[in-house]
Amino acid sequence: MIYITQLIYIKDGQEVIFHQFEDLAIPLMEKYQGRLIYRLRPDEHAFIAANEEIPYEIHFLSFPSEEDLQAFMSDKSRNDFLHLKEESVRAMLLVKGEKM
């Protein structure tokens, strides 16, 4: 099992476009056995300490294998709406790991 944490930083005023992307990406991820475990939208009060910019959303998700993750990332239908991500996401920090 692979676990992914994403810290997502949105371009100013592009929240609606980002939500459109998520509305398409999350169901497609499930096609490849991906599972959205947590989707958080914290405000500054949720952080006890922060040395960097606070992300718009934090996602914690899993895939059974690297192959499933890569199949999702390379799905041809994903390319049809990937422009929504490019229009709305300014930066993203992605951390991959395994359960210990």
Is the CATH number 3.40.50.920 carried by domain 2-97? no
Domain ranges of the chain: 2-97
Vertex 8, ends 5 and 12: CA angle to 5°?
Answer: 175
What pLDDT, in 10s, does the model give residues 5-33? 999 999 999 999 999 999 999 999 999 99
Instruction: Give the integer Cα–Cα distance in Å for 69 and 34.
Output: 7
9's CB contacts (< 8 A; 6+ apart) are: 53, 55, 56, 89, 90, 91, 92
Short-list 2, 8, 35, 22, CA closest to 81: 22
User: Given a cut of 90, is residue 99 above it in pLDDT?
Assistant: no
Give the tens place of pLDDT for each residue, 26-71.
999 999 999 999 999 999 899 999 899 999 999 999 999 999 999 9
